[in-house]
Every structure is written in C-alpha cells, then in structure tokens.
Amino acid sequence: PRWTGLKVRQTFLEYFAERGHDIVPSSSVVPHNDPTLLFCNAGMNQFKPIFLGTATGDQAKLKRAVDTQKCIRAGGKHNDLDDVGKDSYHHTFFEMLGNWSFGDYFKAEAIKWSWELLTKVYGLDPNRLYVTYFEGNAEMGLEPDLEAKQLWLDNGVPEDHILPGNMKDNFWEMGETGPCGPCSEIHYDKVGGRNAAHLVNQDDPLVVEVWNNVFMQFDRQADKSLKTLPAKHIDTGMGFERLVSALQDKTSNYATDIFTPLFDKIQTLTGARPYTDKYGKDDVDGIDTAYRVVADHIRLLSFAIADGGYPSNIGRGYVVRRVLRRGVRYARKYFNTEIGSFFSSILPALVEQMGEQFPELVKKQGEIKESLDQEEVNFAITLDRGEKQFEKYAALAIKNGESKLSGADVYRLYDTFGFPEDLTKLMAEERGLTISEEEVEVAREKAREASKAVKESVTTFPKLNVHQIAELDGQLKIARTDSDAKY
C-alpha cells in the first residue's frame, strides 16, 4: 500500500515536529506510578502532571509534544474488551497518535492542523469527514463550544458536516477523577458518495471516529465537581490503526498491513483457512473472529509483559491473565491448537513488525515468551476439565428451560478452574445463555464469607495435630462432594 503503517506513523510525527513539537517516546503501557489508572488508556496519561500544574524538571519545560502512545483499554473507565473479535475498529491494545500544547497554542491551531494533516497531507476526501463539537451541559454549568464550531466553518468544513455532541461523546475524561475537557472529534465515512451525518457516533462500523481533539480545562474532583486547571491545553488522540485503515481504503482495521503479518503467522502455525474479514453471522465458522481475538490479544499480552505487567490474580495482572485465558480458549476451540506455547510462537511475527518502533519488545522477548508459556501451561491443566464442567452446567440449564447460567456455576468455574467471568460469559453466549453479574457477585460474597469463617477457625486453632488436619480434610472433601452431587 501507498500508506504503509510505518509511513503513516512517521508522517504524523514529522508533521508536528515541523510545527515545533518535540517527538517524545511512548510511556510505559503499565502506569507504575499512577494508582488511579489500570493501564495507560490515552496519550495524555504521561502528561497528567503538566495539566495539573505539578510537573517538575524537564517535563515542566515541555511546550509542544508529539508521539505515538501504547494504549490498553481492557478494564477501568475505558474498557473495550467485549468488543474485540466482534467489531472492526476496537482493540484492547492500540497505538494512539497525539499532539499536545501545554499552555501554548489552543483551539485555532489544533483544529487547523488536524484538518490540514488529514485532508492535505494524508489526502483523505473531505466529503467523507464529519466533525463534532460539545453541545454544552446545563447541569454541569458548561456552555456549548460554539468557538470550535466556528473554527471548523472557518477551515471550510460545510455546516451539514458539523454536529453537536453530548457529554458522553464530546466531553473527554481520563478516569473517575483527573484532567478533562470538552472535545471536538473527526469521523470518517468508509463508504462515501452520501451524507452520513446521521451515522456519526451511532456505533456504525462504516462511519468511524478517527481523531479526538480535547480542550483540557478542568480537573474532575472525587466529589464530581470540576476544578478549573491553572492553564488551558491541547490534547489530541488519533487511533493509528483506524487512520491506517482509512488510508489503505479498508473497511476494517484488521484488513491492513498492521494485522496481516500476525494472521499469516497464525495461519502457518495452525493450518487454518486464511483470514477473510467477516463479522457476526457472516463469519459462519467463527474462524475470522478467532483470528482477530488472537492477533489482538498477543499485542496486549506482549506489550503489557514487556512493561512489567505480568499475569497474576489481582488488578492489572488479572486483566493480563483474563486476556490470555480468553485467547487460549479461542485458539483451542477454533484452531484446534496444542496449548502450552501457542501465543509465544506468534511473538516473533509481532517483534519483527513492531520491534523497531518499540525496542522493548526486542529486549524483553525472552521474558515475554517465558511468562506467556508459563501462564498457558498453568491454564492448560484446568482448561479441559473446566470446559467439560461448563458443558455440564450449560446442558443442565438448557434442559431445565433456563436462559441463564447460574451465578454459582459461573463463580465455581472461576474458583475451581480459573475461568475468568468474561470468558464464561462468552462461552455462555455461544450456547445462547446469559449470565447475571449480580448473581455472580452474590456467589462471590458467599465464598468470601466462607473463606473468612475458615480463616477465623484456623486462628482459633493455631496448631492442629495430624489427626485434626485429616479430619478437617475429610470434612472438606464431604462438603465438596455434596455441592458437586447436585450436578
């Protein structure tokens, strides 16, 4: 393609470098020093101290910056995990291209440059672009952003391509607290030759949000109020994969040269049929969906582990574990692969493709492989038994005319077989069953109480002799058998 991923990224960085921006590296995708944040979810994360006015040293001197940032949205305020595999434009891991002004230029330049870059440099058809501005919010005391609207008009965007947007779409927030502000976004119609204004922000896969220009002005407080920041800033974020997809004239991010090498590798490894970019019911055998899940997940897993986000039972580590287990299960079901070193055998293709831009992948390749293999092997032990158990639960539910898998079943699959809830939910969906989060929570709470009771009884008997231990063990076995007998 004329616009290879490599060239698209380079062009973005150079365009802003020529306009006085320092090219800065992506920050770690694991935000080791921000406890409010699960994973880096936007380019602005590393600049949070500048926005809040608490930056020190070299960072405090930064006026204009540009970069491509590694982002993960698989938990917390921005969570796209459930869309991955199903749609053509959300990934759990993606690159966000961004340019920033720290108390320097503001809306006029940001809008002018984003329009010029997209239409003049990249050459996207302006008739296919739509822009949005914040419509205001009386309750929060926020005015409509008519200034942004006027600036788009001044840049030659026709009025019927400029749309107002609400708090959800046009007021960007990093998390429950932190920097935020009204935003103005650019959407691209992948079909063209029509007016697609009514399809903007409607989850239409053919009219996709590409670039967000945020006008940073506030700091959301824990009590939900908005505190005005010491200065006004520009913070933009453009989905690299979405831009590449538009420039390569593809309807899907997955049909670009960003994903093709990964699909090729998966195909070589598994002997599966080639990827055909089909979705939903059109993906009759589910293989395309599995390709997307595996290719997406290897990216998240590798980048998270490279930055020190190892799989574990809590917090960030549990997100990584969940993603791996989800991927492993897809690989086994749809590609019939041996489990143990499947993900690490895709890794070389990823390293070859992204190692130059992100040298940490090359440097940490050994550690990534080791961690992936260990985690896969661990799960392989229970995957089989867990799937069989799941089949039993599902069959029983269906036989009883239920449309739902019980919360106790979902919890037991987690507790005994290490099946994360979202994985069980997916498997249930394949069977036409739903799960209820509340029921799972009740089961979890019950288990918590029970384990608390066990802990308390243990502290009352600090030293048990072998006979007492044998007796307790016997009781536990009986209890287990009782609860299993139901099934």
97 forms bridges with which residues in the sheet?
68, 238
Nearer to Mg ion, 172 or 393 (CB): 172
Please enumerate in sequence order all residues whose Cβ is within 8 A of that of 78, keeping only pairs 6 or more positions apart, or say none: 41, 42
Task: Give the residue, chosen from 80, 145, 307, 375, that forms a contact with ligand ATP under the rule CB under 6 A.
Answer: 80
Is residue 75 at the binding interface for ligand ATP, with CB under 6 A as the rule? no
Q: How far apart are CB 169 and Mg ion at their closest, in Å?
A: 5
Residues between 31 and 50 with contacts to ligand ATP, criterion CB under 6 A: 42
Q: How many degrees, rounded to 5, is the angle at CA 172 between CA 182 and CA 149?
A: 30
Nearer to ligand ATP, 61 or 198 (CB): 198
From residue 383, alpha-carbon distances to 223, 379, 395, 415, 443 in Å are 44, 6, 18, 13, 21
Contact range with Mg ion by CB under 5 A, out of 92-100, 107-115, 207-215, 320-328 = 207-215
Structure tokens at 332: 């086994």
Q: How far apart are CB 211 and ligand ATP at their closest, in Å?
A: 6
**Radius of gyration of the chain from Cα atoms?**
25
Q: CA torsion, points 11, 15, 18, 20, in degrees to nearest 10? A: -120
Q: How far apart are CB 347 and ligand ATP at their closest, in Å?
A: 21
> Which contacts qualify for 362-368: CB closer than 8 Å, 24 or more apart?
363/306, 364/305, 364/306, 367/305, 367/306, 368/301, 368/302, 368/305, 368/306, 368/344
Is residue 212 at the binding interface for Mg ion, with CB under 5 A as the rule? yes
Nearer to ligand ATP, 181 or 407 (CB): 181
Strands (E), 240-372: none
Task: Give the residue, chosen from 15, 39, 47, 94, that forms a contact with ligand ATP under the rule CB under 6 A.
Answer: 94
Is residue 91 at the binding interface for ligand ATP, with CB under 6 A as the rule? yes
Contact range with ligand ATP by CB under 6 A, out of 17-25, 209-217, 313-321, 472-480 = 209-217
Please give the Cα distance from 70 to 139 (Å, whole number).
35
Nearer to Mg ion, 96 or 394 (CB): 96
> Which position's Cβ is nearest ligand ATP?
239
Nearer to Mg ion, 97 or 331 (CB): 97
Nearer to ligand ATP, 47 or 211 (CB): 211
Residue that the structure tokens 């897993």 belong to? 301
Nearer to ligand ATP, 238 or 290 (CB): 238
Is residue 236 at the binding interface for Mg ion, with CB under 5 A as the rule? no
Please give the Cα distance from 144 to 142 (Å, whole number).
7
Footprint of ligand ATP (CB under 6 A): 42, 73, 80, 90-91, 94, 96, 172, 209-212, 237-239, 241-242
Footprint of Mg ion (CB under 5 A): 209, 212
